[in-house]
Amino acid sequence: MSQGPALIPVVLFAYARPAHLARVLACLRENAVPLIYAFSDGAKGPEDAAKVAEVRALLRDVAWCDLRLTERPENLGLGRNVLAGVDEVAAKHEAFVVWEDDLICVPGTYDWMRAALRHYATDPRVMSVSAWTHPRVTPADVGDWPYFDARADCWVWGAWSRSWTGMNQESAMDKMRSAARRGVAADAHGADLPMQAAREKRRNVWAVRWLYHHLQSGGLCLRPPWSMVEHIGFDAGATNAGGAEEWQNPPLRKAPRQPDVWPSPEVHPGCQALWRAAYPPTGLVTRLGRRAQGGLRRLFRTVTPLSLRTSLRAIFGWRWFRGDYRTWVEARAVSGGYDDRAILRKVLAATLEVKAGRAAFERDSVLFAQPEPDVALLGILQSIAANSAGRLRVLDFGGSLGSTYWRHRFQLPSGENLRWDVVEQPDYVEAGRRHLADTPLGFYHDVSSAQAAGPHDVLLCSCALQYLDEPFRCLAQWSRLGIPCLLLNNLPLHDHGPDRLCVQHVPPSIYAASYPVWFFNRADFRRRVAAHYEIVKEFDAEARWPVGWGMLQSTGMLLKRRADA
């Protein structure tokens, strides 16, 4: 319909989660966003000041696009920050895309949003474009094509200055009443909306006003056929994402292609029923019960220390380890597996951010803004180097794209005194050789070929042995390579009962996956290791595993190869 605006900026809102923000910035860079207006909210108190400073440092360091940073001197809170920030950008640009610091996306998201915003730029029936949807509320017949919904959302969305006009003139409750005068019941598109509207001012939120702004005006939201966006903020640092874990998507697919013919702005007839099924009307007793539960939750947060709340969340929240299986074959049969390439894309993107100096290190594709060395592991590596005249040659089994190297690179020997070879799956080896050839990292398909390329002082196996179907067979094979030391890190060893075989489930906010994992009996593990190695040191390792009703402290071991092995 319209060629639309040539330049469409991203309006980015950030607070005090630098690790989340680093992942978001990596996505925006991968999407080649040309212009970002970033609004960094001020710290709520001294406890958040350091993290706010980290966030602002990350934003100031962006050099791959034009980033215009506003550093709020005071804390506005998310609602007021968004309303003020979008107002400012809408006064300068015809169209824009709004992003928060806990939303990641797939490549192609920005291009899809930009194309839609250009196409519908002059159509008053369309008020917004979303990058998010969910199987629960996506009509079954949409196929590969976008569709229109009367209910908008707030997880990466685009709009125009024309459709934003009037957002700051009325509250959500005012807009809800205005929609009712048009014949749209307050709960017509979900019973959650009137409850959110009633809490708008107290909770300093903005999204429900945006949703009722659509319903008040009769405007529509264009949605993709599947989500290009995922929320990564379901953690202890989340402020307004409570209860949203149920809306985590399956593993994200690549962005849908842009249609040759964009759909006519007509609401899909199935959307309203899907939203009402997702948020059904509730009776008085249920509402009072929920209100009481909310009060208890607030009381719990008030009287319970953060450290204890974090531990309880780990125990009673996401169940990482499930089942107790007799054989690896049984555990494998009930595992969903994982999308190797999707995970690799995330890990590679994060690693390249670290390599470029925009993050300190990554772990399982999650970026960290500040250095946090694994003190016990680093101390042993430094000791091995000291005993080898300052030289360190590591064979890193299952080392991803060098996660342990990147995390500790500034505390390790450098230049010719460091050799760090990683043994990984074929796709990781290819990616490492292609993208990290100018680093001290080498990549190999198996330990034999890595050792054949040159000797090593230590074989490092960190958080990997327990994911092998025959771990003790591997230990025996490694002993025959002639590598003097074996360093096992983050082993799940327990003191009671036999070895246990579970299935580990990774939360979708990291990446959706499930696979078998061993929990070893400590005494039996020591006995079996002693056949090939002498235990030089045993120590508490970094990881803690939420198992059953408690947290299992992981173990590290430095082993010396027996001369008669």
pLDDT band of 364, cuts 50, 70, 90: confident
Using DSSP, state whether 280 is helix, strand or coil. coil
pTM greater than 0.75: no
Tokens 């804390």 found at: 75
pLDDT tens profile 279-302:
887 554 444 554 555 555 454 445
Q: Which of 330, 456, 352 is nearest to 401 (CA)?
A: 352
Q: What's the confidence (pLDDT) of residue 565?
A: 63
Share of the chain above pLDDT 70, in %: 88
Mean pLDDT across 261-280? 92
H or E stretch including 231? strand 229-231
- For the chain, the straight-line distance linking the first and the last C-alpha, in angstroms and rounded, comes to 75
- Segment 463-469 shows an average pLDDT of 93
Q: Does the pLDDT at position 242 exceed 70? A: no
Pairing of strands 337-338, 513-521: antiparallel
Tens of pLDDT, residues 190-205: 988 998 899 888 888 8
- Could you please report the per-residue DSSP string of 322-343? EEEESSHHHHHHT--EE-HHHH
Bigger pLDDT: 218 or 550? 218
Look at residue 547 in the predicted model and tell me its pLDDT.
75
Position 534 scores a pLDDT of 94
Element (H, E) at 158: strand 157-160
Q: Return the structure tokens found at 439.
A: 């680093």
pLDDT in tens, 11-32: 999 999 999 999 999 999 999 9
pLDDT in tens, 87-146: 999 999 999 999 999 999 999 999 999 999 999 999 999 999 999 998 888 998 898 999
What letter would DSSP give residue 415?
Answer: G
Mean pLDDT of the chain: 87
Is the predicted pLDDT of residue 314 greater than 90, yes or no?
Answer: no
Output the pLDDT for position 371.
Answer: 82
Pairing of the two strands 35-40 and 66-71: parallel
Question: What pLDDT sits at residue 286?
Answer: 46
What's the pLDDT tens digit per position in 315-351?
445 577 888 888 998 888 888 766 577 788 889 999 9
The tokens describing 270, both together, are: 């199935």
Helix (H) or strand (E) holding 49: helix 46-60
Distance CA 348, CA 359 (A): 13
Least confident of 45-49, 282-286, 492-496, 550-554: 282-286
Q: Are 95 and 5 in contact (CB under 8 A)?
A: yes
Q: Which domains does the chain have, with CATH numbers?
A: 10-284 (3.90.550.10), 322-561 (3.40.50.150)
Q: For residue 241, give both structure tokens.
A: 């994402």
Report helix angle 522-529 to 471-479, nearest 10.
30
Does residue 382 have a pLDDT over 70? Answer: yes
Q: Answer yes or no: are the C-beta atoms of 253 and 107 closer than 8 Å.
A: no
Cα 206–chain centre separation = 23
Do residues 222 and 114 make contact, with C-beta atoms less than 8 angstroms apart?
Answer: no
**Per-residue pLDDT, 237:** 46
Across 358-362, 384-388, 499-503, least confident range: 358-362
Distance CA 403, CA 187 (A): 48
